[in-house]
Amino acid sequence: MIFQWLYILGFNFFWSIDHRIVVDQNGQGDFTAIQPAIDFALQHRTIHEIYIHEGIYTEKLFIDSLLSNLTFKGSSKDEVTIRYTQSRDIWRCSHPDDYGAAVINVKGRDLKFLNLTVINDFGSTISGDTTIYCPNAFSPSADNGSKEHLNKKVAKDSHQFAFRSFPGATRIVWDNCDFISDGGDTVSPWDVQNGLYYMKNCTVSGHVDAWCPRGYALAENCVFYGKNKHALVWHDGVADKNSKSVMKNCRFEGDAGFALGRYHKDSQQYFFDCTFAATMADKPIYKAGNGSLLHGHRVFFKNCKKEGRQYDWYANNTDISGNQVTFEYVFGDKWRLNNK
């Protein structure tokens, strides 16, 4: 019995000083899976880093709103993969919201994700669009609630979040990560009121709106890849006239004819010193849907270039230079003042 207590005390002494717990599938760490480590960190707020050794982790992660100031650090993005198969449409057939519709589901704040590959591979698991029985698909206009009206079409390339965050989940950083999905909305940080997001040295690959932040976002030295002809990036800035999605020194690639971007609501999108692949369509960033705008069309380019045939719609249209665009320029003092 005394040895059990010594073990427990020793373990607690270790992580209270180091503030770090280790995930290792081979049993050489504190946990062999990531979610139990997250649950442990929720109970012990002195933990500030979850270090993940190499492996393919087939699990879905839930990061509670009570979690903050936590770093998820992989040994290498080439060695650490978090993979799960999940269609948003299927998830919503039996759940009231999106919490669980992604590979990484986030309600916590002040989080960092480093050296990770995150994959939602639902589209690769089916040969084409499918139809499922879905009680939540019921329409009031359905005749007598007949069963055919409870069926829902699930597209092979429908919403498939690799990362989805919720209101309250702000000041999120991604560095040296790959996010891949077989559908739309690959990385979806969605707090339009208070969202502050910083992405660096990452790759985002998916279908429509693969990178779709709400609020304030800065992406530097990233690669975005569109897997079809739909718009690759998207932004929602309806809650704050000054909110913006800024992409600096980024590269945009995709299948032949991919469109660069779009928006549905008030938005600001900036592209500084970016490169567009030859496969990009001659289609300017556009407004989708019929909603009205308070601030008009706000899409800005500076010193961007395209491989192959040139288009005129990404010509310089702002006096701001890429050298001026820093973390402080995009977020001002919001990141500091909101860090409570």
Q: What is the pLDDT of residue 4?
A: 37
**286 and 185 share a domain?**
no
pLDDT of residue 149 exceeding 80, the answer is no
Is 156 within a domain?
Answer: no
pLDDT (average), residues 231-239: 99
**338 and 230 share a domain?**
yes
pLDDT (average), residues 4-8: 35
**166 and 311 share a domain?**
no
**177 and 218 share a domain?**
no
Report pLDDT digits (tens) over 281-309.
Answer: 999 999 999 999 999 999 999 999 999 99
Q: What is the pLDDT of residue 9?
A: 37
pLDDT of residue 103 exceeding 70, the answer is yes
- Three-state secondary-structure class, residue 338: coil
- How far apart, in Å, do the first and last CA atoms of the chain sit? 42
146 — pLDDT class (breaks 50, 70, 90):
low
Instruction: Determine what percent of the chain is predicted with pLDDT higher than 70.
Output: 90
Which H helix or E strand runs over 12?
helix 2-18
pLDDT (average), residues 313-330: 98
pLDDT of residue 13 exceeding 70, the answer is no
- CATH number of the domain bearing residue 20: 2.160.20.10
Q: What is the pLDDT of residue 195?
A: 98
**197 and 232 share a domain?**
no
Q: What is the pLDDT of residue 12?
A: 42
pLDDT (average), residues 74-91: 98
pLDDT of residue 276 exceeding 50, the answer is yes
Identify whether the C-beta of residue 206 lies closer than 8 Å to the C-beta of residue 184: yes
In 10 A of CB 248, how many CB atoms?
22
- If one counts the domains in the chain, the total is 2
Q: What is the dihedral of CA 224, 225, 228, 231, to 10 degrees?
A: 10
How many angstroms separate the CA atoms of 279 and 225, rounded?
A: 11
The residue among 11, 57, 64 whose CA lies nearest residue 32 is 57
Is 185 within a domain?
Answer: yes
Q: What is the pLDDT of residue 139?
A: 45
| Count of residues making up the chain | 340
Q: What is the pLDDT of residue 144?
A: 45
How many angstroms separate the CA atoms of 207 and 186, rounded?
A: 8
Q: What is the pLDDT of residue 147?
A: 56
**321 and 217 share a domain?**
yes
For 148, phi and psi rounded to 5 degrees? Answer: -65, -20
**270 and 196 share a domain?**
no
pLDDT of residue 145 exceeding 90, the answer is no
Q: What is the pLDDT of residue 136?
A: 79
**185 and 272 share a domain?**
no
How many angstroms separate the CA atoms of 269 and 245, rounded?
A: 5
Is 131 within a domain?
Answer: no
The residue among 190, 257, 256, 197 whose CA lies nearest residue 222 is 197
pLDDT of residue 265 exceeding 70, the answer is yes
Is 128 within a domain?
Answer: no
How many angstroms separate the CA atoms of 20 and 339, rounded?
A: 22
CA 282 from chain centre, in angstroms, equals: 26
Average pLDDT across the chain, whole number: 92
How many angstroms separate the CA atoms of 282 and 291, rounded?
A: 24
CA 188 from chain centre, in angstroms, equals: 4
Report pLDDT digits (tens) over 214-226.
Answer: 999 999 999 999 9
10 — pLDDT class (breaks 50, 70, 90):
very low
pLDDT (average), residues 79-106: 97
Residue showing tokens 């707020």:
45
Range(s) of the domain holding residue 49:
1-83+99-120+161-207
Q: Which two tokens stand for residue 15?
A: 């992580």
**216 and 310 share a domain?**
yes
Q: How many CA atoms lie within 13 A of 282 on its CB side?
A: 5
pLDDT of residue 257 exceeding 80, the answer is yes
**42 and 116 share a domain?**
yes
**201 and 216 share a domain?**
no
**192 and 248 share a domain?**
no
